[in-house]
Structure 1
Amino acid sequence: MATVEVTTSSVDYKSSSKTTGLKTGTKGLVTLDTYGKEFKVPDYTIKDILSAIPKHCYERSLVRSLGYVVRDIVMMCVISYLGHRFIPQVQLEGYETAFKYIRGGLWCFQSYLMGLFGFGLWILAHECGHGAFSDYQNVNDFVGWVIHSYLVVPYFSWKFSHSKHHKATGHLTRDMVFVPYTKEEYVEAHQANKISEIMEESPIYTFLVLVFQQLGGLQLYLTTNATGQSIPGYSKIAKSHYAPKSPIFEPNQFWYIVLSDIGIISTFLVVYQWYLSFGIFHMAVNWFMPWLWVNHWLVFVTFLQHTDPTMPHYKDSEWTFARGAAATIDRDFGFIGQHIFHDIIETHVLHHYVSRIPFYNARDATKAIREVMGDHYRYDGTSMWIALWSCIRACQFVDDDNENAKGVMMFRNVNNIGVKPKD
């Protein structure tokens, strides 16, 4: 098949039939998801999806996008000002000890609120990396570099690896993040770790894994490429997003990775001066603790966008771009999701089909592609906190245990949830 170029007005990649939805997999495949429900593999193409999206959805406004950046920064400053203005006054004579703890709780709440808008800023920088922020790539990269650096995310490093993730979503050997164990890999890993082998079915073990994932998952991924592809011959640090010669990147991206690292170093210098000028408490409440929340929200959101007992992964033989993009799920996080997290949770399926559509047009585009996707569109309106627990318990590894759908990998587990894995 000849190479076909798709303009950026329609989709954010230029690629051959080897890596896009023009590749065709086996038609009519059916298998069982984790819960034993029938899963029909999508057979529509990326062309079917793109033709359904209204043209106005592709329109990007620099003024509007910058307005959201200003809004989120202003909200963080207002929250900080109100906290420092009023929290110290929360006291009552004779109850100093009790009000000491109350004030501590209020400082934590202030940091939580700032972390919400901090993650909103992270999402806007993420839009910059995709070119959805504006029509001006230099502006996109500058704004994205500043915001992500402040949040200790290497902008260009993330941009490059994240682009590969979008081009191979759901591909078992080419996707870049939240790559699941196969059954064989899971067995090997847990036999090597006797503690996890003993405790793997315990809810306590699941809880500890969950805490570690939420608090340290992002930095572990950036530093060692954890949950990414296994790359033999390289140490964990050599695969880091901070390493200019990491195999994650192309040789011509070397200096962009260096620029990303300069952004991170600049942030640490600013934070250090912050500490020297205003003290560790002021820095912690206004930067460090909100930053921890941003780390949490990023792992929380992205894990649940790409992990669900009803969703597949694919071997190369059955993967297509259209199928991979459909291996994502929209969820609902209420007011916060729509108005503070910029709809990144509620319109993520659309985002994987066309990531250059700005978030403020994504709901219209989502409505359009649902008509094409039909039952293949995935949405879960249950509490995301409940979903987090369910997914980490039920989605431990993938297997193509259906002889009639080899190459279509569905989640299985050893916790006696749903379909039991075959020996």
Structure 2
Amino acid sequence: MTADDKTTKTTAQPVVDEAIERGWEIPNFTIKEIRDAIPAHCFRRDTFRSFTYVFHDVFIIAVLAYAATYIDTIPSAAARVVLWPLYWIAQGVVGTGVWVIGHECGHQAFSPSKAINNGVGMVLHSALLVPYHSWRISHSRHHKATGHMSKDQVFLPSTRSAVGLPARDLDPEGDGPHSAFDESPIAALWGMFLMFGFGWPLYLLTNIAGQKYPGWASHFNPYCAIFEENQFWDVMQSTAGVSVTIAILTYLGQTFGPLAVIKFYVIPYFGVNFWLVLITYLQHTHPDLPHYRENVWNFQRGAALTVDRSFGILDYFHHHISDSHVAHHFFSTMPHYHAVEATHYIKKALGKHYQSDMTPIADALWQSWKQCRFVEDEGDVVFFKS
């Protein structure tokens, strides 16, 4: 279906007006067509091979931590000032790879065995203070409704009315840019610091940047609207896993001192949070890509709104979660070690509907931050405006 197919709708309901204005063609393909374009071996899950990536990451983390035990023995204060940040950065990068594998377990992509998937995922995510099953459940809902204005779970655009702007036909600044969003570079960087530093734990605790649910919507609250009644014990088990990690960190703090825990674990933990939020924000926030409402959305159209980006050498340590994310959204049970190959075929199958942006990450972040402020309250196809 193209935008022209819907132009018979009345102007009282601007269904795809923005699609027409932007020259955006709504794709019309099936999941089967995309799947048939990908070699069958790309969907095979190999438990042994998956474990090699766990061992790879844990080994590097252990080596980095062991090497860091010698930093404070170095007489040069200048060397210590340089080496600790290098450790924090490196450990945050590798820790993000562990997070990606845990996330893959939640998709049942690690192994054909559900027990192995959930066992490994529980350990890896709990070690990173992620409530495994709770997030697995909400993340599954995100995948089932990617790009849907009222059903997607995270990075939902604010609407015109929600940001306090007048109706479009009464707005003297029209589609923007709006002076209400003018901010200095310092203010923008402060906003980024808050989002990338604390956005992830706040999302888990309060569902910030997610769907607006009544009451305390939290990944630690089994009674909230994120979960079904039969998922109560999954949430409780997830909370227990995080609690065990906190208990271990508390013990280590009492044994080796709180400063040691902060230097070896807490600061790298915030590094993992930074990469996680940055990666996911840029995968689902782009000035040129719309969101759909119910009349237009379907699963494959939503999956095609995901953006592949490259973080250079970090793609290796992040297990290609960024540069093969379109493939992941179409087929979330596909192991990451096949996703790069599958992307080659998906790109051909989607043609112009394949979304990839190789803008340098810092530039891409600034563009999305400044240009992706709100969408219209009405319309089945809505684009970000500023």
TM-score normalized by the length of structure 2: 0.90
Matches within 5 A, 1:226-305: 226-231=208-213, 234-235=214-215, 238-305=216-283
Query: Structure 1 CA distance, aligned partners of 2:92 and 2:245?
Result: 17
Give, in angstroms, the shift of residue 90 of structure 1: 3.6
The equivalent position to 2:359 in structure 1, one of 382, 391, 395, is 382
SS class of match (2:153):
coil
The equivalent position to 1:311 in structure 2, one of 289, 302, 317, is 289
Q: What residue is the counterpart of 1:361 in the other structure?
A: 338
Query: Structure 1 CA distance, aligned partners of 2:380 and 2:78?
Result: 55
Q: Deviations over 1:191-248 (max 9, x none)?
A: xxxxxx98631133322211110001001111111111112xx23xx21110011110
Q: Deviations over 1:84-132 (max 9, x none)?
A: 23x23543xxxxxxx4243123112112111111110000000000011
Asked if the contact 2:158/2:373 (under 8 Å) is kept, the reply is yes
Give, in angstroms, the shift of residue 71 of structure 1: 0.9
Structure 1 residues 48 and 118: alpha-carbon distance in aligned structure 2, compared to 1, 3 A threshold = same
Matches within 5 A, 1:67-86: 67-85=52-70
Query: Structure 1 CA distance, aligned partners of 2:356 and 2:22?
Result: 16
The equivalent position to 2:95 in structure 1, one of 118, 128, 139, is 118
Asked if the contact 1:26/1:318 (under 8 Å) is kept, the reply is no
SS class of match (2:384):
strand
Asked if the contact 2:2/2:25 (under 8 Å) is kept, the reply is no
Q: What residue is the counterpart of 2:174 in the other structure?
A: none
Q: What residue is the counterpart of 2:190 in the other structure?
A: 208
SS class of match (1:412):
coil
Query: Structure 2 CA distance, aligned partners of 1:28 and 1:327?
Result: 20
Query: Structure 1 CA distance, aligned partners of 2:217 and 2:72?
Result: 46
Between 354-363 and 44-53, report the one with greater CA deviation: 44-53
Letter in 2 for 1:128: C
Q: Deviations over 1:316-357 (max 9, x none)?
A: 0110111100111000111111x1000000000111100010
SS class of match (1:409):
strand
Asked if the contact 2:3/2:24 (under 8 Å) is kept, the reply is no
Q: What residue is the counterpart of 1:13 in the other structure?
A: none
Letter in 2 for 1:201: D
Q: What residue is the counterpart of 1:392 in the other structure?
A: 369
Q: What residue is the counterpart of 1:96 in the other structure?
A: none
Query: Structure 1 CA distance, aligned partners of 2:31 and 2:285?
Result: 22
Structure 1 residues 375 and 119: alpha-carbon distance in aligned structure 2, compared to 1, 3 A threshold = same
The equivalent position to 1:59 in structure 2, one of 13, 28, 44, is 44
Q: How many residues are paired up?
A: 364
Q: What residue is the counterpart of 2:170 in the other structure?
A: none
TM-score normalized by the length of structure 1: 0.82
Letter in 2 for 1:244: P
Superposition misfits of 4+ residues, deviation over 4 angstroms: 24-33
SS class of match (2:161):
helix
The equivalent position to 2:124 in structure 1, one of 147, 155, 159, is 147
Structure 1 residues 28 and 73: alpha-carbon distance in aligned structure 2, compared to 1, 3 A threshold = farther
Q: Deviations over 1:339-394 (max 9, x none)?
A: 10000000001111000100000012111111121111111112112211110110
User: Any gaps of 5 or more consecutive residues in structure 2?
Assistant: 7-15, 167-177
Structure 1 residues 198 and 101: alpha-carbon distance in aligned structure 2, compared to 1, 3 A threshold = farther
Query: Structure 2 CA distance, aligned partners of 1:27 and 1:82?
Result: 62
Query: Structure 2 CA distance, aligned partners of 1:280 and 1:219?
Result: 20
Asked if the contact 2:134/2:220 (under 8 Å) is kept, the reply is yes
Structure 1 residues 65 and 118: alpha-carbon distance in aligned structure 2, compared to 1, 3 A threshold = same
Q: Deviations over 1:242-278 (max 9, x none)?
A: 0011110010000010000000110110001111111
In the alignment, structure 1 residue 176 sits paired with structure 2 residue 161 = no
Between 377-386 and 327-336, report the one with greater CA deviation: 377-386
Query: Structure 2 CA distance, aligned partners of 1:248 and 1:109?
Result: 38
Give, in angstroms, the shift of residue 27 of structure 1: 6.8
Identity %: 38
Asked if the contact 1:170/1:314 (under 8 Å) is kept, the reply is yes
Asked if the contact 2:217/2:225 (under 8 Å) is kept, the reply is yes
Asked if the contact 1:326/1:377 (under 8 Å) is kept, the reply is yes
Q: CA RMSD in A?
A: 2.0
Give, in angstroms, the shift of residue 185 of structure 1: 1.5
Letter in 2 for 1:200: F
Letter in 2 for 1:219: P
Asked if the contact 1:60/1:132 (under 8 Å) is kept, the reply is yes
SS class of match (2:162):
helix
SS class of match (1:40):
coil
Query: Structure 2 CA distance, aligned partners of 1:292 and 1:366?
Result: 30
Q: What residue is the counterpart of 1:325 in the other structure?
A: 303
Asked if the contact 1:25/1:317 (under 8 Å) is kept, the reply is no
Query: Structure 2 CA distance, aligned partners of 1:128 and 1:116?
Result: 19
